[in-house]
Amino acid sequence: MDLDYSAEELSFRDEVRAFVRDNLPRDISRKVLEHRRLHKEDIVRWQDILAGKGWLAGLWPEEYGGRGWTPVQAHIFDEETAALGAPPLVPFGLSMVAPVIMAFGSPWQKEHYLARIRENKDWWCQGYSEPGSGSDLASLKTRAQRVSTAEGDHYIVNGQKTWTTLAQFANMIFCLVRTSTEARKQEGISFLLIDMRSPGVTVRPIIMLDGEHSVNEVFFEDVKVPVRNRVGEEGKGWTYAKYLLGYERTNIARVGASKRELVALKEVAQRELRNGGPLAEDPLFAARVAEVEIELMALEMTVMRVLSARGKAPGPEASILKIRGTEIQQTLTELMMEAVGPYALPFDLEAMELDWEGERVGPDYAGPLAAHYFQYRKVSIYGGSNEIQRNIIAQLVLGL
């Protein structure tokens, strides 16, 4: 694999870097680089800027309004935007449900939903996990019964989803529902696109260890969903769900963000003193930083290999990316906490706000690190826990 960028790719990198420097609002980049709290308005504002440039869906094929970026261009975009403090793109619409609609959706779904995703008009969330149906997702119980009315054919949806990320902001949810109890459990599942503003949809917050409201429970009580909002065939939702999960697990690798955090870790290690010198010069700490940097380099090359499989959805190899990517993310947060030592102990949620002017204990960069650390405890669980990913690798990659 050629790891050197071509002249065209270097030109693209310069274009991305210049655009982000000129257009990314300073307050947003500070929040990202300083591990502060991002609000919905921050994310929408940045994604609107990218949509105006035509870069929000740059990796999409041109036939669906994208730029048809190569995997290398997509990697460059991810790396450059992350390095300069851009928020991560919300993936649920752009890189999760959109590929499913492209591959399996009806002409109407492609025309209607893809345009709205590309233009940042919808905020999507994912309705997969349920109480008792997380790792064993095929056991889900949310039921959709098809009925015919004067208004047309509908599904009536009843059930509950949990751990639904950012559902409090979403106006759309792609949802796995059970449309048959007669077939084996994987074959009785369908894939629905549901308007979160429909009567009968209720969102309740789940507050996480870091004190943030980032996940939710979503309840459906006699929610009417037009049949035209079913993706593909009835009972084939499990197939579409697996297709989507390959994209999700590849996205979770987050190489660009980890490279930014590695730079930040090195800077902190230079500032923090141990035994009369910078922590960066401590042999044991330096060895741990070097180890995670090597692992990140290997992950980056593996991600590029997976993305280079043009025209092919990520397969079970995406589980490797998910495991290593999340382990690296967690290691970086752990090393950052160790670097600042006791200054990481205060856990004040107000310190997560950019304009907070309270009394600080220790350097400015230490205040938000405890919440940042807690936030990353969950990354090895969502998208399919790392234990389940190892089973997938054993069965589908190694053939054990």
Q: Which string of b and e fits 356-390 if b means at least 16 CB within 10 Å?
A: eeeeeebeebbbbbbbbbbbbebbbbbbbbbebbe
Record the pTM: 0.92
pLDDT digits (tens, 9 = 90+) for 248-285: 778 888 999 999 999 999 999 999 988 889 999 999 99
Q: Are strands 124-127 and 172-178 parallel, antiparallel or unpaired?
A: parallel
23 lies in some domain: yes
Asked if 83 and 137 sit in the same domain, the reply is no
> What gap in Å lies between CA 134 and CA 137, rounded to an integer?
5
**Is residue 45 domain-resident?**
yes
Q: Which amino acid is at 273?
A: L
With cut-offs at 50, 70 and 90, classify the pLDDT of residue 1: very low
Q: Supply φ then ψ for residue 342, to 5 degrees.
A: -65, -20
Say yes or no: 280 and 372 in one domain: yes
Instruction: Look at residue 313 in the predicted model and tell me its pLDDT.
Output: 66
Averaged confidence pLDDT in the chain: 92
- The 10s digit of each residue's pLDDT in 296-349 is 999 999 888 877 765 566 777 788 899 999 999 999 999 999 999 888 876 777
Domain at 176, CATH number: 2.40.110.10
265 in a structural domain: yes
Domain that holds residue 84: 7-89
* Catalytic position from the list 80, 130, 248, 317: 248
Same domain, 31 and 132: no
* CATH classification at residue 287: 1.20.140.10
Does 231 share its domain with 258? no
Is 98 among the domain residues?
Answer: no
In this predicted structure, the answer to whether residue 32 has a pLDDT above a threshold of 70 is yes
Residue 222's φ and ψ, nearest 5 degrees, are: 50, 50
- 151: tokens are 């208004």
E strands, the chain, in order: 124-127, 143-149, 152-161, 172-178, 189-195, 201-207, 213-226, 230-231, 273-274, 277-278
Taking alpha carbons only, the member of 72, 69, 68, 63 closest to residue 5 is 72
- Which of 71-75, 123-127, 167-171 shows the lowest per-residue confidence on average (mean pLDDT)? 71-75
313: Cβ contacts below 8 Å, ≥ 6 apart: 99, 103, 243, 246, 247
In this structure, the answer to whether residues 61 and 155 fall within a common structural domain is no
pLDDT of residue 311: 55
Q: Is 221 a catalytic residue?
A: no
Average pLDDT over residues 81-98: 96
Residue 400 neighbours by CB distance under 10 Å: 8
pLDDT, tens digit, 9 for 90 and up, residues 347-393: 777 778 888 877 777 888 888 888 889 889 999 988 888 898 899 88
Same domain for 366 and 302: yes
Give the count of domains, the chain: 3
Q: Residue 245 forms beta bridges with which residues?
A: none
Q: Which amino acid is at 69?
A: W
What pLDDT was estimated at residue 3?
60
Same domain membership, residue 259 and residue 391: yes
DSSP secondary structure letter of residue 186: G
SS3 112: helix
